[in-house]
Amino acid sequence: MSDVCIVGAGIHPFGRTEGLDGMDQGVYAVKQALADTSIAWEDVEFAFGGSSASGAADTMVSQLGLTGIQFINVSNGCATGGSALNAAASAIKSGEYELGMAVGFDKHPRGAFNADPAAYGLPNWYGEAGYMLTTQFFGAKIMRYLHENGLSTEALGRVSEKAFRNGAKTDHAWRRSEVDLETIMNAPLISDPLNKYMFCSPAEGAVALILASEKKAKELGGPMIRLKTSVMRTRPPGSFEVFAASIDNERGGTATELAAKAAFEQAGMGPEDIDVAQLQDTESGAEIMHMAENGFCPHGDQEKWLIEGRTEINGALPVNTDGGCLACGEPIGASGLRQVYENVIQLRGTAGEHQVPGDPKTAYTQVYGAPGVAAVTILQR
Amino acid sequence: MGAQPIADNLFTDDNMTALVGARNKQTGQIFFPLPLTPNDNIEPIALATRGTVWTYTVQRFPPKTPYAGPADPVNFKPYVVAYVSLPGQTMVESRLTGVEPEDVKIGMEVEFTAIPLDPDAPADQQIMIHAFQPV
């Protein structure tokens, strides 16, 4: 089987862009990625793509060119981008194709995601009585996690503080201003213990990645960024997911734990081998839980790590170097691919102001979301 | 017509003394609420009325639709949403009542009750939802 390399990466800056719909931003990202690879759209043999709220990805051929390309739409909730990448990588590994693309884009209205109980198999009373809010789930989940692991709410504030500090240095980020810890801790609560600086917002943005076989990547000549593994997993029994009217007394593992374990096995590496990591931070608590679920630190050590600055850009394991979802916002279809984009520029050494020092060689991404899905990638230069 | 439950098949009886859960006859797993569509493998079961708070959060802003309770941003009163562990059964997502958000503790003992979705509605028009209160 051929190794798969990421030979080009393009992004439409995250945030709010008046006058451009989600699909337009997707097309913009594709053009950036083609230019980055020094290839033409006609050279791309296949594509996988998706969005949650901005239409069918394959229709972007009308803007990019009617080359007759195989273009398959992916719809996998929060793992849409990760699944598109996974499928594109498989198509190359199989030997069927040499050069292809994964693209994700979205544009969501302001405010929390609106959800319809029936779409989740729930009775109407669940929404009428005031339970149909993703923010409640995040609050309740991290409330328990902090309690079980002896962590303080200040740890949540430290994650946000770092996110905004990194976002301020990142061109593609949405939130570009630092916020100090005291301001964060004194902000109004949204869903205890999480306050308004601790949640990411639905947003807009797009990412496109060009993938190639090892042979093709050598021909193209750029830096060899190898996609060592790309894994997607669904939840095991006893996980704690959004919109659950009940959960089992007996607690179980998580989709992230399954994906992380499989990814490290496939890559022949362990958490100690990773130089930089992008971890799902829908809210501050998610980054904290995911530091442990991905195996980077024991449960309960996160606050110590944050206080010691181990996850800062110049720390032992930089986490969310572009400010993550907290600073970039979350366009669902694009979010997982943004993490990979960030790792590509980190491994190339072209991240500029937010570049991780020390010439990083390995980079990790993890996305997690509804309804209990996780996707992990490991890149190596 | 007096106060009405927010939905059929939610409470065990007209006095709303307990919640109706679901039991999978093959696996023994108990969950809540009853599925929307009938299933031969699922039987209704009365859920326990005493339990402990496993975790909780506070809804600090008025929810958008489909929320049917009072959502006026000026007078909105934050409410506590908890997962209450019912021994040997399941953990039920439920509002807590009779306790201020600041006083809720994980591990707190609570008992079942029913409360009006809008306490300011006339008594004969009240819609009742499930809740737990400190013992």
- Looking at this predicted complex, what is its ipTM? 0.97
A15 domain residue, yes or no: yes
Helix spans in A236-314 (H): 255-267, 284-293, 302-307
Cα-Cα-Cα-Cα torsion A336, A360, A97, A44, nearest 10 degrees, comes to 70
Interface list for chain B against chain A, based on CB atoms closer than 8 Å: 6-7, 10, 21, 29, 31-33, 35-36, 54-61, 63-69, 79, 81-83, 85-93, 95, 101, 106, 117, 129-130
Chain A residues within an 8 Å CB radius of B79: 130
Task: Give the mean pLDDT of A142-148.
Answer: 98
- What CATH number is given to the structural domain containing A355? 3.40.47.10
Other CB atoms within a 10 A radius of the CB of residue A358 amount to 10
A336 domain residue, yes or no: yes
**Which tens digits make up the pLDDT trace of A219-273?**
999 889 999 999 999 999 999 999 999 999 999 999 999 999 999 999 999 999 9
Range of the domain at B47: 4-134
A101-129: string of b/e by CB count within 10 Å (b at 16+)?
A: bbbbbbbbeeebbbbebeebebbbbbbbb
Residue A115: pLDDT band (50, 70, 90) is confident
Task: Tell me what pLDDT residue A297 has.
Answer: 98
Task: Tell me what pLDDT residue B36 has.
Answer: 86
Cα–Cα distance measured from residue B61 to residue B66, given in angstroms and rounded to the nearest whole number: 14
Q: A192, B58: Cβ pair inside 8 Å?
A: yes
Other CB atoms within a 10 A radius of the CB of residue A236 amount to 13
A313 domain residue, yes or no: yes
How many domains, chain B? Answer: 1
Residue A360: pLDDT band (50, 70, 90) is very high
CA distance A144 to chain B (A): 5
List the single best residue of B30, B52, B65, B93 to mutate versus A (max A Cβ within 10 A): B93
A163 domain residue, yes or no: no
Task: Tell me what pLDDT residue A150 has.
Answer: 98
Range of the domain at A103: 4-109+200-380
A186 domain residue, yes or no: no
A105 domain residue, yes or no: yes
For the cut 90, the answer to whether the pLDDT of residue A121 exceeds it is: no
**Which tens digits make up the pLDDT trace of A189-232?**
999 999 999 999 989 999 999 999 999 999 999 889 999 999 99
A141 domain residue, yes or no: no
Q: A246, B21: Cβ pair inside 8 Å?
A: yes
Other CB atoms within a 10 A radius of the CB of residue B135 amount to 10
CA distance A334 to chain B (A): 26
Among residues B91, B33, B26, the alpha carbon closest in space to that of A121 is found at: B33
**Which tens digits make up the pLDDT trace of B12-39?**
999 999 999 999 999 999 999 999 888 9
How many domains, chain A? Answer: 1
Task: Tell me what pLDDT residue A371 has.
Answer: 83
Interface of A with B in 107-146 (CB under 8 A): 111-112, 114, 116-117, 121, 123-125, 127-133, 136, 139-141, 143-144
